[in-house]
Amino acid sequence: MEDTTTKTGRWSIRVTATQDAVVRRVIEESGESLNDYVVRNCVAAAENDLADRRVFVVDDAAWAQLQALLDAPPVYRPEVAKLLTNPSVLEKGGSER
């Protein structure tokens, strides 16, 4: 998900000579700028860290909305029922590719 708005924030980070050499080698080979490489990888790592969270803090309104969704009766989806009644690729076996 790329944001096309103007960049106004600025980061200042320190790295060892070894870390610098590794990153500069990959950006040299890829042709990507140092800024783009660092930001892309940092944001990807942050998104992964957020996705791995196990505790979420929400306000009372969001909690009530979540509780209402969880308490609601399930919605029957014929497509899902059909999918779950057919054997999976792993259950079928065989070596088809």
Q: What is the pLDDT along the chain (97 residues), one digit of tens a residue?
A: 566 789 899 999 999 999 999 999 999 999 999 999 999 999 999 999 999 988 888 999 999 999 999 999 999 999 999 999 988 888 877 655 5
Q: What end-to-end distance do the CA atoms of the chain give, in Å?
A: 32
Domain ranges of the chain: 17-84
Tell me the pTM.
0.55
26 CB-side CA count, 13 A: 11
Helix (H) or strand (E) holding 63: helix 60-71
